[in-house]
Amino acid sequence: MFQLGQLEEHKIATGEMHSVAAFIDLAFRHAGLDWRDYAVVDERFEHPVDVERMAGDATKARERLSWRPEVSFSQLAEMMVGADLACISDVKSINSKQVY
């Protein structure tokens, strides 16, 4: 984005539509868990469907920066969970080596 020589706003998106539930399902499955054992859906916080389609439009980034998504939705969920699991593993490793 700095290649342009001036600041501009660009959306980085795949243009695909996915629900929060789909992301949660992928993330928990990557961790070997069933999200239903750890979370509940509270219908009071669900948004009414007020638009038919809502997805990020990265046309400007594609045209001006030649940017294209290289990571799929499921790969992104796996990468995020993998990074979190690695952090947890690092903390556990550090804590197990502490001498009191």
Provide the residue ranges of all domains of the chain, joining segments of one domain with +.
Answer: 9-97
pLDDT exceeds cutoff 60 at 100:
no
DSSP SS3 for 42: coil
Q: Is the pTM of this model over 0.85?
A: no
pLDDT in tens, 14-42: 888 888 889 999 999 999 999 999 998 88
Angle made by CA atoms 60, 62, 65, in degrees to the nearest 5: 90
- Distance in angstroms (rounded) separating the CA atoms of residues 55 and 12: 11
Its CATH architecture, for the domain 9-97, is: Alpha-Beta Complex (3.90)
